[in-house]
A and B are shown apart, each in its own frame.
Chain A
């Protein structure tokens, strides 16, 4: 069933690295224009879910569609912010250069980025407040600045759906606020944003949609309706006391 109202539709998705499944039979329908958190304990398969949707990992079973079509056909509508720790920041390159990589997908094979791509990259750097650091070697940036560079790289892809793997990991409060403001701006512009998130306290404040994941999908829906002790307990296995009614 193709339902074009869903930005992301995941059906029966099962992923395993070795023998034990990391994700089991996931059904997930994400409507367009939500800012969604994926929460769950360590090893729940949060990053794996994103990677399987993006085609980085090959699932054992199941299907993924983006606006009703397979990911391969829709990849220009999708941007990805990997975990900051997944790359070597001592790589010999500058902040601007990393952001320019976000334009490579639109360019396709062989074609080099030109003035237009550079301009877009500089704008993205400005949006994340990193324009002053454009020529800085990336290892000379702080953790928060590196995260912003990654965010700028995704922004320059000018996508409809953004996947972010723990963008708040190890960043200071200033960067966290800067990032969440950009995410809210994206939502305002009608984009769909999916974020792997760890800090349960901030879920109601930052997000309007949430998915509870622990190998199986526990629940998914509006934060106001499903972000409650019951689902938290089911996901984390202990009675999680969170000030939901803040």
Chain B
């Protein structure tokens, strides 16, 4: 099956449609809530939470013996939240720094989860096969009830986001100040974190615990490059996330059912790479172009100013001077002279140049202009 075939099948094939819708919704909610994580500089928290969810999945399976997705995700939610509170506890109660707390909880929970997973796999129970899909994700296992849950949670998250938009925004920007205004910052904080944990847990089946954090961060990091407005950033992150989900799943499904997680993350990484290079405001490419442009303009202005210094010693400002007397000044090339002539600031004739009235005025005002623009 090729990608084109895949997308043609979406219209007719019910299963594919369910999976596509699911990954799109998942990408959108992750992009949306991931923006908060990125702006709060809690990028790594998502990584720790998703890894912390693994033992919950294993324990839920051990208790119920069934592979019902909702039960397993509930286990993931509990252990994810537990991990989050431990991280906070460590940061607040000990002298350990945030990164240490995150790394500690991440590896502790993930290690314990892997231990349980191998233990389960050694059990003589045919039911255990497929639990390892939670490591790297398998979108093909999404069924309608999974997608319905995703849509409901995304709807609630969107509602809460719109309702507390103002409170979220101010907390993200300036938490201390928010507190002085009388807002319960702990409540807002817990609300944001809770929804981030929820989004992570929802994504485990599709993307897997190992790469889930990329699903949160990549769309948000890409979106930040294109806008300086919070609402636009969150909207773009949701779009990027949705596209990553849909295309990632399509590629993995059309290539022998590769693990969905890594493919989705790679697609999201393409969004990030393109955004980092090509975004007009913050992109590397345009920044470099602007830098070169400024440099050339400055070179031009500097040459003009040097000419002005020579021309103003003469009564007639348009008196021609030999080009070679510019040799003392190292900033000019033939090209700069041509550019200056194009702008009609100077006139070249043979081996001589002369300033035009316009060029003289321009040079005279150069310094004043640049200082008033500051």
Residues of chain B with a CB closer than 8 A to A104's CB: 166-167, 170, 178, 181, 183
> Do A54 and B180 have beta carbons less than 8 Å apart?
yes
In the bound assembly, the distance between CA atoms of A72 and B174 in angstroms comes to: 19
B163 beta carbon closer than 8 Å to chain A = yes
- Interface bits B140-180 vs A (CB < 8 Å: 1, else 0): 00000000000000000000000111110110111011111
In the bound assembly, the distance between CA atoms of A107 and B165 in angstroms comes to: 13
Residues of chain A with a CB closer than 8 A to B233's CB: 92
> Do A91 and B166 have beta carbons less than 8 Å apart?
no
Number of cross-chain contacts by CB at 8 Å: 75
In the bound assembly, the distance between CA atoms of A107 and B183 in angstroms comes to: 11
* A92 with B177, Cβ < 8 A, contacts A104-B166, A112-B166 known: no
* A56 with B230, Cβ < 8 A, contacts A75-B182, A105-B181 known: no
Of A79-87, A192-200, A219-227, the stretch lying at the interface with chain B is A79-87
Residues of chain A with a CB closer than 8 A to B163's CB: 110
* A105 with B176, Cβ < 8 A, contacts A92-B228, A93-B228, A110-B163 known: no
> Do B174 and A101 have beta carbons less than 8 Å apart?
yes
User: Among A56, A98, A112, which residue has its beta carbon within 8 angstroms of that of B179?
Assistant: A56
Q: How far is the CB of B218 from chain A (nearest CB, A)?
A: 17
Closest to A113 in B: B166
In the bound assembly, the distance between CA atoms of A118 and B228 in angstroms comes to: 19
> Do B173 and A87 have beta carbons less than 8 Å apart?
yes
A231 beta carbon closer than 8 Å to chain B = no
In the bound assembly, the distance between CA atoms of A105 and B177 in angstroms comes to: 10
In the bound assembly, the distance between CA atoms of A105 and B169 in angstroms comes to: 13
- Interface bits B172-212 vs A (CB < 8 Å: 1, else 0): 11101111111100000000000000000000000000000
> Do B164 and A101 have beta carbons less than 8 Å apart?
no
Interface residues of B in 218-240 (CB under 8 A from A): 224, 227-230, 232-233
User: Among A82, A93, A137, which residue has its beta carbon within 8 angstroms of that of B177?
Assistant: A82
> Do A101 and B182 have beta carbons less than 8 Å apart?
no
> Do A56 and B180 have beta carbons less than 8 Å apart?
yes
Q: Is the interface of B mostly helix, strand, loop or mixed?
A: helix
B91 beta carbon closer than 8 Å to chain A = no
> Do B229 and A86 have beta carbons less than 8 Å apart?
no
In the bound assembly, the distance between CA atoms of A209 and B179 in angstroms comes to: 27
Closest to B185 in A: A56
How many of chain A's residues have a CB under 8 angstroms from any CB in B? 29
> Do A55 and B180 have beta carbons less than 8 Å apart?
yes
In the bound assembly, the distance between CA atoms of A87 and B169 in angstroms comes to: 13
> Do B229 and A82 have beta carbons less than 8 Å apart?
no
In the bound assembly, the distance between CA atoms of A111 and B165 in angstroms comes to: 10
Q: How far is the CB of B129 from chain A (nearest CB, A)?
A: 46
* A110 with B182, Cβ < 8 A, contacts A92-B229, A93-B229, A101-B177 known: no
In the bound assembly, the distance between CA atoms of A104 and B181 in angstroms comes to: 7
Q: How far is the CB of A90 from chain B (nearest CB, A)?
A: 9
> Do B166 and A137 have beta carbons less than 8 Å apart?
no
Residues of chain B with a CB closer than 8 A to A93's CB: 169, 173, 228-230
Residues of chain B with a CB closer than 8 A to A82's CB: 174, 176-177
> Do B170 and A92 have beta carbons less than 8 Å apart?
no
> Do B170 and A101 have beta carbons less than 8 Å apart?
yes
> Do B182 and A105 have beta carbons less than 8 Å apart?
yes
B44 beta carbon closer than 8 Å to chain A = no
B266 beta carbon closer than 8 Å to chain A = no
In the bound assembly, the distance between CA atoms of A72 and B184 in angstroms comes to: 12
B39 beta carbon closer than 8 Å to chain A = yes
> Do A80 and B177 have beta carbons less than 8 Å apart?
yes
Closest to A165 in B: B176
In the bound assembly, the distance between CA atoms of A54 and B183 in angstroms comes to: 13
In the bound assembly, the distance between CA atoms of A80 and B229 in angstroms comes to: 25
Residues of chain B with a CB closer than 8 A to A111's CB: 166
> Do B229 and A75 have beta carbons less than 8 Å apart?
no
> Do A51 and B176 have beta carbons less than 8 Å apart?
yes
In the bound assembly, the distance between CA atoms of A78 and B176 in angstroms comes to: 14
Residues of chain B with a CB closer than 8 A to A72's CB: 182
> Do B179 and A55 have beta carbons less than 8 Å apart?
yes
Residues of chain B with a CB closer than 8 A to A88's CB: 39, 41, 173
Residues of chain A with a CB closer than 8 A to B174's CB: 82, 86-87, 101
User: Among B172, B180, B181, which residue has its beta carbon within 8 angstroms of that of A91?
Assistant: B172
Q: How far is the CB of A50 from chain B (nearest CB, A)?
A: 10
A94 beta carbon closer than 8 Å to chain B = yes
Q: Which of B173, B180, B224 has the most CB of A within 10 A?
A: B180
Residues of B within 8 A of A (CB): 39, 41, 163-167, 169-170, 172-174, 176-183, 224, 227-230, 232-233
6 contacts between A and B (CB under 8 A): A56-B180, A82-B177, A91-B172, A92-B227, A92-B228, A105-B182
Residues of A within 8 A of B (CB): 51, 54-56, 72, 75-76, 78, 80, 82, 86-88, 91-94, 98, 101, 104-105, 107-113, 137
Besides A91-B172, A94-B229, A110-B167, 9 other A-B contacts (C-beta < 8 A):
A54-B179, A75-B180, A80-B177, A88-B39, A101-B170, A105-B183, A109-B183, A110-B166, A137-B228
